């Protein structure tokens, strides 16, 4: 049994502050926000926590729009960001004297906002409903569900920059739109709408584990595989970082538990000095106190991996398997249906190494194949097979190819090549025990609409002691 290491990454439940008592949260604080309004609870709660304020006349004016600067100030308070030790984000229209400068700088430093392509932030412009959606998704690091797999009920929300974030809010129940079929993305969000949406985002409960590249001591997570052993137990969402004036923000992967069960996930870093780095984990999802809890268990395990057969099960009598040096492993290996969409007949390989498989066919013939099973940074091995074949033939038919020229020097060390007199029938036979390629050029190659034939190439491959030679047509794709 391979040694395993249990590891629990920090789980994030999306709730950023403790709620006030029911009395404090529901107390009416503004004359124009009666408790019958759908946003009243959010407005009163935020006011009680000094996150938002009203006007001197005791009103809140919930129908007024909210500016981009005001939105930044509210979100900075909600997230309890450090607004004192900030770097100037360099927005050309946000001077340090601006009342919202510190909040805007804090959000920019946290990579929640980025401003416009022209270098401005437009702090005095009303923030639109779609802009608010995108800021909330980033600010609260909501799960980045694949929006292409979600139904979009909003006929007016098709902006690729914001559509996915609107649908994330919709999926999590944070918004239902302005009507069942519209979101009004370009409309300025009102103060009442903003309070309700922010409050709903703050309170959404999504048990989620976030794995960061730095958790592994890596700079980046270049690749994630969560499909090898996952029957809907969890979702894995890779979020790529970006280069900023403050440095690279770092890659991370959101893991969302979907149901109880066991799955697997593997991570790969970027190349460093020609070496790939991998991490593999079992994913355990259990219900604890009514909520799904996801934990990760590091492992070096491999799962038995398919080696595909070149024949159907009906053609095979039995299969014997030995190591490359001749040690017998089985006289009758079990046949299974290959995993995946395409099916087929396979045998399972559960240990790295080189093997010789002998396929005994029902017609009395038999073939030998080499199998190489290599470890890689996933739960399945990399499996390669090679049919033992010492002679290959190729017939070009009756096309007038003219003379042929063998271009490869010292090709005799790899194979003998003959052409039957007066024909285009070629035969190649192995003469050595080395892999390589032999190229043959025709005097006149046939040209089709998209392809120019130039000759043949002969591939000689080797897997352990198993050798294979095969002749292929050679040429290149042409312009129309």
pLDDT in tens, 245-271: 777 888 999 999 999 999 999 999 976
Has residue 94 got a pLDDT over 90?
yes
Looking at the structure, tell me whether residues 236 and 376 fall in a common domain.
Answer: no
- Name the band, by pLDDT with cuts 50, 70 and 90, for residue 339: confident
Residue 10 within a domain: no
Q: How many CB atoms lie within 10 A of CB 212?
A: 16
Q: Which of 203, 230, 247 is the last residue of a domain?
A: 203
Q: Which of 352, 387, 422 is the last residue of a domain?
A: 387
Secondary structure, 3-state, 53-83: CCCCCCCCCCCCECEHHHHHHHHHHHHCCCC
Two structure tokens written together for 397: 């038919």
Has residue 20 got a pLDDT over 60?
no
Per-residue pLDDT tens digits for 218-249: 889 999 999 999 999 999 999 998 887 777 88
Q: What is the pLDDT of residue 184?
A: 95
Judged by average pLDDT, the poorest of 220-234, 264-278, 353-367, 428-442 is: 264-278
Residue 226 within a domain: yes
Secondary structure, 3-state, 91-145: CCCCCCCCCCHHHHHHHHHCCCCCCCCCCCCCCCCECEHHHHHHHHHHHCCCCCC
Looking at the structure, tell me whether residues 195 and 154 fall in a common domain.
Answer: yes
Q: Which of 350, 226, 333 is nearest to 281 (CA)?
A: 226
Q: Which of 203, 228, 259 is the last residue of a domain?
A: 203
Has residue 458 got a pLDDT over 60?
yes
Two structure tokens written together for 90: 């360099």
Looking at the structure, tell me whether residues 184 and 216 fall in a common domain.
Answer: no
What are the φ and ψ backbone dihedral angles of 381, each rounded to 5 degrees? -70, 165
Residue 363 or residue 1, greater confidence: 363
Residue 478 or residue 234, greater confidence: 234
- Name the band, by pLDDT with cuts 50, 70 and 90, for residue 12: very low
Q: How far is CA 262 from CA 226, 231, 282, 284, 461, in A?
A: 12, 8, 7, 5, 40
pLDDT (mean) for 142-155: 87
Looking at the structure, tell me whether residues 365 and 406 fall in a common domain.
Answer: no
395 lies in which domain range? 391-477
Mean pLDDT, the chain, integer: 91
Q: Which of 106, 109, 41, 40 is nearest to 73 (CA)?
A: 106
Task: Count up the domains in the chain and report the number.
Answer: 4
Residue 146 within a domain: yes
Residue 3 within a domain: no
Q: What percent of the chain has pLDDT over 70?
A: 93
- List of E strands, 178-233: 208-212, 223-225
Looking at the structure, tell me whether residues 238 and 313 fall in a common domain.
Answer: no
Looking at the structure, tell me whether residues 274 and 403 fall in a common domain.
Answer: no
Looking at the structure, tell me whether residues 315 and 450 fall in a common domain.
Answer: no
Looking at the structure, tell me whether residues 162 and 52 fall in a common domain.
Answer: yes
pLDDT (mean) for 159-185: 93
CA distance 251 to 238: 8
Per-residue pLDDT tens digits for 401-414: 999 999 999 999 99
Q: What is the pLDDT of residue 147?
A: 74
Has residue 158 got a pLDDT over 90?
no
Has residue 437 got a pLDDT over 90?
yes
Looking at the structure, tell me whether residues 310 and 376 fall in a common domain.
Answer: yes
Q: What is the pLDDT of residue 390?
A: 98
pLDDT (mean) for 461-469: 98
pLDDT (mean) for 167-183: 94
pLDDT (mean) for 383-400: 96
pTM tops 0.85: no
Residue 15 within a domain: no
Q: What is the pLDDT of residue 271?
A: 65
Has residue 39 got a pLDDT over 80?
yes
- Name the band, by pLDDT with cuts 50, 70 and 90, for residue 16: very low
Q: Which of 119, 99, 297 is nearest to 108 (CA)?
A: 119
Looking at the structure, tell me whether residues 29 and 162 fall in a common domain.
Answer: yes
Reduced to 3 states (helix: H, G, I; strand: E, B; else coil), residue 400 is coil
Q: What is the pLDDT of residue 270?
A: 77
Q: What is the pLDDT of residue 384?
A: 97
CA distance 252 to 221: 7
R_g of the chain computed on alpha carbons? 33
Contact 296, 209 (CB under 8 A): yes
φ/ψ region of 389 (left if φ > 0, alpha if ψ in -120 to 50, else beta) reads: beta
Q: What is the pLDDT of residue 15?
A: 39
Q: What is the pLDDT of residue 14?
A: 42
- Name the band, by pLDDT with cuts 50, 70 and 90, for residue 275: low
Q: Which of 209, 148, 147 is nearest to 172 (CA)?
A: 147
Beginning with the edge strand found earlier in the chain, give each strand of the sheet holding 208-212 in spatial order. Answer: 11-12, 208-212, 252-257, 234-239
Has residue 6 got a pLDDT over 50?
no
Looking at the structure, tell me whether residues 197 and 52 fall in a common domain.
Answer: yes
């Amino acid at each position: 049994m391979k040694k395993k290491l249990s590891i629990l990454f920090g789980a994030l439940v999306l709730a950023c502050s403790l709620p006030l008592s029911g009395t404090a949260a529901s107390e009416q604080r503004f004359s124009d926000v009666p408790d019958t309004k759908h946003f009243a609870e959010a407005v009163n709660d935020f006011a009680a926590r000094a996150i938002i304020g009203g006007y001197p006349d005791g009103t809140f004016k919930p129908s007024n729009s909210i500016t981009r600067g005001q939105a930044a100030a509210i979100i900075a308070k909600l997230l309890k960001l450090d607004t004192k030790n900030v770097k100037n984000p360099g927005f050309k229209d946000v001077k340090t004297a601006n009342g919202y400068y510190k909040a805007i700088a804090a959000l920019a430093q946290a990579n929640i906002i980025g401003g416009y392509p022209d270098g401005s932030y437009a702090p005095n412009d009303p923030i639109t409903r779609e802009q608010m959606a995108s800021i909330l998704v980033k600010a609260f690091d909501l799960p980045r569900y694949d929006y292409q797999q979600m139904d979009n009920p909003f006929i007016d929300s098709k902006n690729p920059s914001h559509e996915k974030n609107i649908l994330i809010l919709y999926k999590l129940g944070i918004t239902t739109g302005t009507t069942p079929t519209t979101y009004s993305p370009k409309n300025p969000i009102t103060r009442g709408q903003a309070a309700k949406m922010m409050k709903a985002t703050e309170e959404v409960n999504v048990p989620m584990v976030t794995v960061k590249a730095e958790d592994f001591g890596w700079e980046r997570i270049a690749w994630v595989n969560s499909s090898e052993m996952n029957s809907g137990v969890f979702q894995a969402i890779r979020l790529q970082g970006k280069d900023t004036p403050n440095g690279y923000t770092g890659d991370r992967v959101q893991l969302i538990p979907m149901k109880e069960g066991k799955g697997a996930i593997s991570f790969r870093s970027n190349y460093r000095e020609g070496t790939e780095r991998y991490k593999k984990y079992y994913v355990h999802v259990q219900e604890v106190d009514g909520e799904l809890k996801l934990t990760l268990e590091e492992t070096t395990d491999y799962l038995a991996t398919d080696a595909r057969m070149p024949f159907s099960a009906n053609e095979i009598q039995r299969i014997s398997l030995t190591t490359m040096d001749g040690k017998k492993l089985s006289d009758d290996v079990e046949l299974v249906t290959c995993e995946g969409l395409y099916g087929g007949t396979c045998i399972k390989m559960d240990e790295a190494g080189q093997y010789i498989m002998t396929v005994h066919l029902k017609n009395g013939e038999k073939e030998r194949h080499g199998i190489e099973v290599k470890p890689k940074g996933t739960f399945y091995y990399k499996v390669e097979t090679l049919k033992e074949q010492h002679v290959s033939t190729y017939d070009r038919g009756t096309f007038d190819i003219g003379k042929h020229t063998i271009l490869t020097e010292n090709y005799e060390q790899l194979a003998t090549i003959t052409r039957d007199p007066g024909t285009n029938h070629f035969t190649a036979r192995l003469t050595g025990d080395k892999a390589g390629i032999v190229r043959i050029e025709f005097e006149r190659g046939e040209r089709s609409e998209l392809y120019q034939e130039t000759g043949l190439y002969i591939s000689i491959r080797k897997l352990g002691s198993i050798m294979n030679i095969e002749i292929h047509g050679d040429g290149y794709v042409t312009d129309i």
